[in-house]
Chain A
Amino acid sequence: MIELKNDNLLFRFPKIHPRAKLRIELQRTLRIPDDGRTYPLPPGLGAFPLRHVDDLGPSVPASWLDHGGVVLPMYQSEALWLYFDSDYIADNDVAYPFAVKIAAGKINAVTGEDWANGLDRDPQDYIVVPEQPWLDGYCVERGTIRQFVAMPLGSGYSAEEQIRGSAEYGGLQIIAYPMKPEVFERRFPRLPEPHESRMYGDFSVGQVCTSPDMGLAPGGAMHQEIYSDPFDIEDWAQDSASRCFVHIANSLVWRAITGEQPPSTPPTAREYTDRGMPWFDYYADADAECADGSTVLRGLQGVAGLGKAKGDNALPENESVAPEKIVQLRRGLGKHQVREGRF
């Protein structure tokens, strides 16, 4: 089951384990320059607001209601990243593991393949939480991703349109699989001595705009690794998945359908960097294995390059920057190791 709680998607699997909970937050961020350089990780600037599509009734396209799920607002050429957090279980001294598959426009963000339910290991088409705390874009090569950047569906920029040649879905698609309970108990046996219990929180659009949907296009490049699954494919409870369609509404459309203001526009990379704000780098152990990246995704054109070819100024304020203040975060994040920029 999936709940919407404080603008987070909360995936729960009470039949698998009472603490099998995965929280996914869609983070606002600045758009990194799409200039051929590879940047460190940009900050999180807070969560996007999320609403049930069912609450917006007849004012949203019929396809949104068919897909179900939730909706969030994005400005054209705004960027986002996904933050994953699973519930820490003190008795076993580990956070409950999940396999999570992410797609944009039903194109898998790790492999570039068409959406399919189920997990594949060769090549790995999913990420593993808590090993992978966040995902910022399409995995184009080992250790490099191209940032998720919102562009109007139908304009030809999204990965979906470049790969499939049609603008049909847009948005993000997420499916989560918990580890099988018996595998969890075998791999992470309960600690012999009683530990103090850590109590955690259960824890008519057409009139406004002809293209209410946004798709995610590949933007600038940044360093980010997709870690290989350290478990066995049989360890995942593939018959217990929960999935969600996250629609992306153009910000003007959002105002019309919800009556609410979308968040303000994020700062540009230049404004952020000039104020000495931090960028981030995430280090794994040297022996951590990573995905090689997808040849399909590597062949995509970035928004800036494609815009130039089309004669569009698709990415205004795309100046290169030289981040100087880079915060190093190590794998296995501690309490105060957050990727956040207050601006």
Chain B
Amino acid sequence: MADSFGNYVRRRRESLRQGDPSFSVRQVAARIGVQPSYLSKVERGDEAPPSEGKIIALAVELDEAPDVLLALADKVSSDLKEAICKRPRLFAELIRELKDLPDHAVLSIVREVRDGKW
């Protein structure tokens, strides 16, 4: 999984770098507060993915969804963990029920902003 995370980050960063040189390993590493050599190793899969905080910072830099990068790193964001741990039985059951549904069916249960009369 670590290799897949690294590859994904490298491809995304290189793609952005084609249009903007500030997406070099050195500059992205500086912006998220890690050493360039460390980010380079992560991208090559020689190091495990970084902490949740650094992954979220990286997601912001690369204009990616933090949850997607966390999932690639085999992690779940701490707010989701907290929500599940508060009501573990309920959420475990819910996720198992929903896991095989197609996206549009899952989206249909997302809470919507209600429109009224105006």
Q: Which of A's residues lie within 8 Å of B, judged by CB? A: 1-4, 9, 12, 14, 18, 52-54, 65-70, 106, 169, 173, 196, 198-203, 242-245, 334-336
Contacts and interface: CB of A to CB of B under 8 A. Distances in A.
Given A200-B64, A200-B65, A68 B116 contact: yes
Contacts of A65: 116
A1 B112 contact: yes
A267 to B, nearest CB: 25
Contacts of B112: 1-3
A277 to B, nearest CB: 21
Contact of A1 (B16, B67, B68, B107): B107
Interface residues of B, number: 25
B104 interface: yes
B111 interface: yes
18 contacts: A2-B115, A3-B111, A9-B113, A14-B104, A52-B113, A53-B114, A66-B118, A67-B116, A67-B118, A68-B114, A68-B115, A68-B118, A69-B113, A169-B118, A201-B66, A202-B65, A244-B115, A334-B19
Interface in B19-72: 19-20, 22, 63-68
- Rank and list the top 10 A-B pairs by shortest CB-CB distance, nearest first: A201-B65, A68-B116, A68-B114, A2-B113, A67-B118, A67-B116, A1-B112, A68-B115, A66-B116, A199-B68
Contacts of A53: 114
A18 B107 CA distance: 11
Contacts of A202: 65
Given A14-B107, A335-B16, A336-B22, A69 B114 contact: yes
A149 to B, nearest CB: 22
Given A66-B117, A201-B68, A203-B65, 18 more contacts: A2-B112, A2-B115, A14-B103, A18-B103, A52-B111, A52-B113, A53-B114, A65-B116, A66-B116, A67-B116, A69-B113, A70-B113, A196-B12, A198-B12, A199-B64, A201-B67, A245-B115, A334-B19
Contacts of B107: 1, 12, 14
B11 A196 contact: yes
A3 B113 contact: yes
Interface in B64-118: 64-68, 103-104, 107, 110-118
B16 to A, nearest CB: 7
Contacts of A3: 110-113
Contact of B113 (A106, A198, A244, A336): A244
Contact of B110 (A1, A199, A201, A243): A1
B15 interface: yes
A69 B113 CA distance: 6
Nearest to B59: A201
B22 to A, nearest CB: 7
A335 B114 contact: no
Contact of B116 (A12, A106, A196, A245): A245
